[in-house]
Amino acid sequence: MAKRKVKVKKIGKILLLVIMIVCAGVIYLFANNFSFFSDNISVDKKSVKKVEKKVAKDYSAKMLMVGDALIHSAVYEDARQADGTYDFKPMLSAIKPISSQYDLAYYNQETILGGASLGYSNYPRFNSPQEVGDAFVDAGFNMVSLATNHTMDKGEQGVLNSVAYWKSKTNVVASGQWSSEEERTNSISTIHEVNGIKYAYISYTIWTNGLNTPVGKEYLNNLYSEEKAKTDIESVRDKVDFVIVAMHWGTEYSFNVDNKQEEIANYLSNLGVDLIIGAHPHVIQTAEYINNNKTFVIYSLGNFISDQNDRDNFTGLAFEVTLNKHVDVDDTITNTVIEPKAELIYTTTTKIRGVNHNFKVVPYPNLTDNELANHNVYYEKYKSIVNERYPNLVWGLSGEVNDGNN
């Protein structure tokens, strides 16, 4: 009997010890907020994240392009203020509400912005006030082409002054003129980015008006050659999503695309250029996809603003495209220039004693017959020129504002 009592006592002690251990464990778990289990749960969460289904993504940037800022003396005299400064902003006031809406907005600075110290001048050797550039930047333009047949109109100093001016516009991507070969190389290899899209931008001219750059200083004006273009484009092609090239080419005052334009366009397309923007003819030309839709080409945007006192030269193009980057679920990337749209623009003026004043660029749909008689007839005429190789082109820009005049 005594032995049995000892056994019961032993079992009781063991049970008490077990109960105490369990209680201590429960208290420990509560004190540590079940960290043991929560740690396990966090591991489970991580494993769930790893098996989440990937989805395709699209990145896009809308781009606007307009043509030549050809600043004749009548244009800059019209901009002259009483204190001797220049203000070109009113001339762009009907365009600014449109151009300021785009991610990228491009124009061609036809005449050199060589600064006041070199004296302002008209055709054939232009020099324009730098306030021209101020007005375009104010209107939202952030890409400019500088390689033209008028680049050397004021010699090396004119180019250096122009380059210094555009360097001060830190939000603007400028191409076509540089102050050294090193600067040119750095510019060509610079990768720009907008909305998750990487792009390279290069401007060339095939024309110089016989004003060649000094030997050893070819960087002053980016004269096109196949060898140069091949080297430039191959240096950046695999580093970016899009390569954009501005070409100063074509036959002046001709609505027709010439053989040289086609030859260069196809060569650039085969190098991997996605978008080619044409200037120089001073009138509009057609646009099209080439090389199995690999490249979109706008052969000529015509003049944006000038005093070439003719309806054809006062008429220009504003062109819109979307740069679209599609990343598939397997990380395959497809880059395409899509959704081309266009609008015609016109430089309105008031003639006083045979001289044009009150220059203002206006979209064709906003014109009245007082500004251009029979403008609706001309609208259809010029549209047919642009539609020649791209009949499905959409007319009307995403950012277009109609003031109700038409």
Examine the domain organization and report whether 188 and 227 are in the same domain: yes
Instruction: Give the count of domains, the chain.
Output: 2
Taking CA atoms, 310 is separated from 52, 76, 110, 302, 303, in Å, by 63, 18, 18, 12, 11
Q: Which of 31, 50, 69 is the last residue of a domain?
A: 50
Q: How many residues in total does the chain contain?
A: 406
Residues 29-65 as b or e (16 or more Cβ within 10 Å = b)? eeeeeeeeeeeeeeeeeeeeeeeeeeeeeebbbbbbb
Q: Is-contact 115 86, C-beta < 8 A?
A: no
Domain that residue 272 falls in:
57-395
Distance CA 135, CA 91 (A): 9
Inside any domain, residue 134: yes
- C-alpha atoms less than 13 angstroms from C-alpha of 84 in its C-beta half-sphere: 2
Q: Which residue has the tokens 């980016």?
A: 222
- pLDDT tens string 174-230: 999 999 999 999 999 999 999 999 999 999 999 999 999 999 999 999 999 999 999
Examine the domain organization and report whether 158 and 297 are in the same domain: yes
Distance CA 319, CA 356 (A): 27
Examine the domain organization and report whether 255 and 215 are in the same domain: yes
Which pLDDT band, with edges at 50, 70 and 90, does 11 fall under? Answer: low
Amino acid of residue 48: V
Which pLDDT band, with edges at 50, 70 and 90, does 94 fall under? Answer: very high
- pLDDT tens string 252-284: 999 999 999 999 999 999 999 999 999 999 999
Distance CA 260, CA 73 (A): 32
- pLDDT tens string 113-164: 999 999 999 999 999 999 999 999 999 999 999 999 999 999 999 999 999 9
Q: Is-contact 290 297, C-beta < 8 A?
A: yes
Query: What's CA 276's distance to the chain center, in Å?
Result: 12
- Region of poorest pLDDT, from 9-18, 70-79, 302-311, 324-333: 9-18
Q: What is the CATH number of the domain that holds 112?
A: 3.60.21.10
Inside any domain, residue 180: yes
- pLDDT tens string 304-317: 999 998 999 999 99
Angle value at C-alpha 259, between 256 and 261, nearest 5 degrees? 80
Q: Which of 50, 69, 90 is the last residue of a domain?
A: 50
Q: Which two tokens stand for residue 40?
A: 């396990």
- pLDDT tens string 12-60: 566 555 566 655 555 554 555 544 444 444 445 445 455 568 899 999 9
Examine the domain organization and report whether 331 and 273 are in the same domain: yes
Inside any domain, residue 359: yes
Q: Which of 15, 33, 50 is the last residue of a domain?
A: 50
Residue range 327-351: mean pLDDT, rounded: 97
Other C-beta atoms closer than 10 Å to the C-beta of 274 total 23
Inside any domain, residue 406: no
Examine the domain organization and report whether 41 and 68 are in the same domain: no
Could you tell me whether strands 57-69 and 315-327 are parallel, antiparallel, or unpaired per DSSP bridges?
A: antiparallel
Examine the domain organization and report whether 266 and 377 are in the same domain: yes
Examine the domain organization and report whether 121 and 231 are in the same domain: yes
Examine the domain organization and report whether 79 and 218 are in the same domain: yes
Q: Give the pLDDT of residue 27.
A: 52
Could you tell me whether strands 57-69 and 242-248 are parallel, antiparallel, or unpaired per DSSP bridges?
A: unpaired
Other C-beta atoms closer than 10 Å to the C-beta of 112 total 27
Examine the domain organization and report whether 37 and 171 are in the same domain: no
Examine the domain organization and report whether 24 and 83 are in the same domain: no
Examine the domain organization and report whether 159 and 306 are in the same domain: yes
Examine the domain organization and report whether 16 and 67 are in the same domain: no
Taking CA atoms, 196 is separated from 57, 61, 272, 398, 400, in Å, by 11, 9, 20, 21, 25
Which pLDDT band, with edges at 50, 70 and 90, does 4 fall under? Answer: very low
In DSSP terms, 193 is beta-bridged to 198
Residue range 279-297: mean pLDDT, rounded: 98
Orientation angle between helical segments 226-236 and 259-271, nearest 10 degrees: 30
Q: Answer yes or no: is pLDDT of 401 > 70.
A: no
Q: Which residues have CB under 8 Å from 198's CB, separation 6+?
A: 191, 192, 239, 240, 241, 242
Inside any domain, residue 402: no
Sheet arrangement for strand 242-248: 192-194, 197-205, 242-248, 275-279, 295-298, 287-290
Between the CA atoms of 9, 12, 18 and 23, what dihedral angle is there, to the nearest 10 degrees? -130
Q: Is-contact 362 343, C-beta < 8 A?
A: no
